[in-house]
Amino acid sequence: MAGINPLSSALYNTDYLFGTVISKKQTSVSQLWNTYNSAQSNALQSLSGLTEINTNLKSVLSSYDDAKAAFSSEFKENMSELSASATKIKSYDFSVEQEGAITTTIETDKDGNVSSVTNYSKELQAAIDTVKDFVSDYNSAVKFFGDNSSVSKRVEMMSNTFSDTTYRASAYSSIGLTVSSDGSLSVNEAQLAQTIVNDPDKVSSILGKDGLAGKTESHISFANSQEDKLFPTAEKMLGNQLETASIYTGSAYRNMAAMSYMGNLINMMF
């Protein structure tokens, strides 16, 4: 150890020691800030993603509101129009003057072709049109509930309710109304006209207050009582995705993310 100044050696070692410590400390701080900056960048990217989720959620909810409003509007329109035509036909007097109610004329066109044309009296035509309007409104209701039967179990139930015309298909057929498999009706105008002229009481019995019109009013009343339950809530329609998206788009999540990054920074410093 001769030739080595102990003091110089100690200073050297001390300088080396503190130099190393300072160097390590500087490296540690540098790493700390690099990590924090990286975390901050990731946080900004996460928040950007959350903003996109929030925008998409708003778009989905807006579409839901539009769909619900359209459903409600069409429901009200169908029930209102059907109610009016059912009320009219329920008390309609199908008795018409038999003489001249149905006439046939022979017409010849410019090419010499001959054809027979059936004409109805004004009174009979009004009765036929009343039935046709009622049938048209009833079919609109059948189609509305049928087209939307997958929206909810309640709408499916209403679809089944309005399509129950099939069980009286033979009765309706006897006056000129044909029932399709979905419950909708079609009118054989010639047969209906003959039945109105020859047996107006039968038409009233089958279509009037004790017939289809009365049953239709019962269906409408039931449908109106279910109106606010027919279209499912956003939570039921969108399921868990709505709840999850709501959590991750709220300020609470962003606050938790910020606190987490700050906590990591503090842990690195001590």
Q: Looking at this protein, which amino acid is placed at residue 119? A: N
User: Quick one: which H or E segment has residue 174?
Assistant: none
Amino acid 259: pLDDT: 46
Mean pLDDT for the stretch of residues 131-135: 97
User: Quick one: which H or E segment has residue 171?
Assistant: helix 169-173
pLDDT digits (tens, 9 = 90+) for 48-72: 555 555 566 666 667 778 888 899 9
Mean pLDDT for the stretch of residues 151-159: 93
pLDDT digits (tens, 9 = 90+) for 214-251: 999 999 999 999 999 998 877 666 555 555 555 444 44
| Confidence band for 252, pLDDT divided at 50, 70 and 90 | very low
Most confident of 53-62, 145-154, 191-200: 191-200
The domain spans of the chain are 49-247
Amino acid 85: pLDDT: 97
Query: What is each CA distance from 186 to 101, 136, 156, 176, 178, in whole angstroms?
Result: 22, 9, 23, 8, 5
Which range has the worst mean pLDDT, 59-73, 113-127, 178-192?
Answer: 59-73
For the chain, the average pLDDT equals 78
Asked if pLDDT for residue 253 goes beyond 70, the answer is no
* DSSP string for 200-267: HHHHHHHHSTTSHHHHHHHHHHHHHHTHHHHSPPHHHHHTHHHHHHHHHTSHHHHHHHHHHHHHHHHH
User: Residue 151 and residue 158: Cα distance in Å, rounded?
Assistant: 11
Amino acid 162: pLDDT: 96
**Beta partners for residue 105, in sequence order:** 117
Asked if pLDDT for residue 127 goes beyond 60, the answer is yes
